[in-house]
Amino acid sequence: MNILALLKYSALISLGVIIIIPLIGMVINFIVIIILSRIIRGKLYLFVVNTLTFPGVMYHELSHALFAFITGAKIEKISLYHKQGNQLGSVEIKTRGPWINRSMQLSFSACAPVIMGLLAEGVIFFVFAKVALPVWAMILLGFLAFCILLHMDMSGADIKGYLKGIVFVFFLFFVIAFLTLYGGNIDIQDMIQSGFKSV
């Protein structure tokens, strides 16, 4: 595959990724807030979403903190169990550096629960598929997967933060896609054509 084709496919993959990340977060947010709150009401809803699925809350908040730290933001406060209305945990960060750095810090920390959630779900799925587990371990892993999935959401504030540095998210995934396609000598056109032939 020539360089122009590599650049084109890398750009398309990156564009797809930067759209899919907030889409996943918004869909899960919609499911949790709109649908689940109508099925389970009042204190029981808060108990299920926050307390019962606390491992997901913890993973969500620590994902925000990890990406904020990696991108250079200052973590001012991590609260894993501090009730504020419907919210159980929170992470307060202070962006640092020039505008580019601050935008990147906001964007990556905002989408962190979705990216880290997808990573965790992938690992759990791999373990389920490849490792013979006792029943209790399968139940525990299944519960953990449910907790993480339920908290792979992006709030309105997260979406706003994400959009501030979306150019940098695109660029990062573009570089990853380009290096993967170039280094792996993957021919996307052949993959697409062979995929259609198999249907």
Residue 96 has pLDDT above 80, yes or no: yes
> pLDDT confidence of 24, banded at 50, 70, 90?
very high
Distance between CA 80 and CA 60 in Å, rounded?
9
| Cα distance between residue 40 and residue 191, in whole Å | 45
pLDDT of residue 199: 39
pLDDT value for 72? 92
Our CA angle for 67, 69, 72, nearest 5°, is 110
pLDDT at residue 69, rounded to an integer: 94
Lowest mean pLDDT: which of 10-14, 49-53, 76-80, 187-191? Answer: 187-191
* pLDDT tier at 184, thresholds 50, 70, 90: low
Q: Is the pLDDT of residue 188 over 60?
A: no
Q: Which of 12-21, 78-87, 153-162 has the lowest mean pLDDT?
A: 78-87
Would the pLDDT of 197 be above 70? Answer: no
With a pLDDT cut of 70, the percent of the chain lying above it is 88
Q: Over 60: is that where the pLDDT of 192 sits?
A: no
Which residue type does 45 have? Y
Give burial (CB, 10 Å; 0-12/13-18/19+) of 54: middle
Of 77-81, 101-105, 153-157, 192-196, the least confident = 192-196
At 42-89, the pLDDT tens digits run 778 778 877 888 999 999 999 999 999 999 999 999 888 766 655 677
b/e burial code for range 114-144 (CB count within 10 A of at least 16 → b): bbbbbebeeebeeeeeeeeeeeeeeeebeeb
| Residue 118, both tokens | 């997808």
